[in-house]
Structures are given as structure tokens and as C-alpha cells.
Amino acid sequence: MELLIASATGTFLALFPITNPFGVVPTFYSLTGNSTPTRRSHQARQVCINVVIVLTTALIVGRFILSFFGLSIGVLQIAGGLLLAQTSWRMVSAPECSVSTEPHRKTTQDDITLIPLAIPLISGPGAIGMVIGLATQRSHFMSYAGSLLGILGIGGLLYLCLTLGKPVVRILGKPGLRAFTQILGFFILAISIQLVTSGAFSLIQDFISSLAA
């Protein structure tokens, strides 16, 4: 039971700053500005389902993907760290005009629940890489189940944010949303540096081990 809780908590905390459930709220309401409340609620639910499906798929087949392409954990950590660094830099340096609290004037009926919301905005390369990295560290059924619970927790929090976030968007306004996005970007940048550093040390250790052998 302790392993289940620890895995669920670790997965949730690792994915939270990357998926950014709070930060995606203004984008969601901007893209669904012309939708009815009923349709917007349906879209919010579908976005969360898509995110959970994408991340769960990465969790289940992540180890096999690494084995198929012959990739090491260190390489994956460095690649994921670089992708996260790019994302975090955009968040930290984003201009104020990029954070919108007003709906688009253009009316569209396109399905935005998978692209661009679920992929790549929420469960993008950074989140997928993080889940694959976690999958390589899971060797027990309870740890996998815990990671799945963590992913479901992210999906539940995302649904609450998308359905209840409109008043928050109006209260915070553009300056508040921009500040929140920059703070999250800073923490994501720190995580990316940690990933790159861990990956580099892992590659060095593998190299030393190969020389010793």
C-alpha cells in the first residue's frame, strides 16, 4: 500500500508542473469562447480523457519503446530535459499578449480536444518523456498501478480546472495569469536541468562501467 501511494504521489507531482492544469485554463476558454456551456463541459471532459489515454499509453509501452530503439535512460532524460527547457523558457519569457482571457472572435466547430489541447499543449513531449522515464523505474505491479492513479489524478484536477476555471481567469486577469505561468515555467526549468544532469551522470557511469568490463 505504501508503494502504491508513493508511486501515485510521485507521478502526480512530477506531471503537475509539466501538464500545468491551471495554466491551460485561459487557452481552453479562448478556444471554446463560442461554445455553449453544455458543449464546453463535454469538451473539457473529452480533453481530460484524451490526456489520460495518451499518458497511460506512454506508461504501458514506454519500456518497450526504449528497448525497441535501443535507448538508455540517460539519453531519454537528457532529451526530455532539453524539451522541458524549451517549454519552460517560452513560459518564463512569454509576452503578456500571449496570455488571453478573452474568447476568439472566430467561430469554429473544429474538435480541439485532442489537438492542440491534449497534444501537445498538455500531454506534450515533455509529459510523455517524463512518463516513459517513470515507466523504466517501475518493476512492481503496485508501482505501475500507483503511476496510473497519479495520471488519473492529473486528469481529475485538469477537469476541475477546465470546468471551474472561468471565474479565476476573470479575477486574475492577464497580469496574474502571466505571473503564474512564469512561476511554473521557473520550476519546470529547474526540473529540466535536473533531468539533463541526471542523464549526463548516468551516461558517464555507463561509459565507466563499459571500460571496466
User: Which of residues 101 and 26 earns the better pLDDT score?
Assistant: 26
Count of beta carbons in the 10 Å neighbourhood of residue 150: 24
Kindly report, residue by residue over 84-138, the tens digit of the pLDDT: 677 677 767 765 544 444 444 444 456 788 887 888 778 877 788 788 878 877 7
Determine the pLDDT at residue 157. 96
pTM: 0.69
Over residues 26-38, mean pLDDT: 79
Kindly report, residue by residue over 135-180, the tens digit of the pLDDT: 877 778 888 899 999 999 999 999 999 998 878 767 767 677 677 7
Determine the pLDDT at residue 104. 43
Which residues contact residue 180 at a Cβ distance below 8 angstroms, ignoring those fewer than 6 apart?
A: 22, 23, 172
Instruction: Burial-class residue 142 by CB neighbours within 10 Å (0-12, 13-18, 19+).
Output: middle
Please give the Cα distance from 35 to 117 (Å, whole number).
16
Please give the Cα distance from 5 to 28 (Å, whole number).
31
Closest of 15, 46, 19 to residue 115, by C-alpha: 46
All three cell numbers of 206, joined, read 555507463
How high does pLDDT run on average in the chain? 80
Assign residue 87 a region (left: φ > 0; alpha: ψ between -120 and 50; beta: otherwise): alpha
Which residues contact residue 29 at a Cβ distance below 8 angstroms, ignoring those fewer than 6 apart?
A: 101, 103, 165, 166, 169
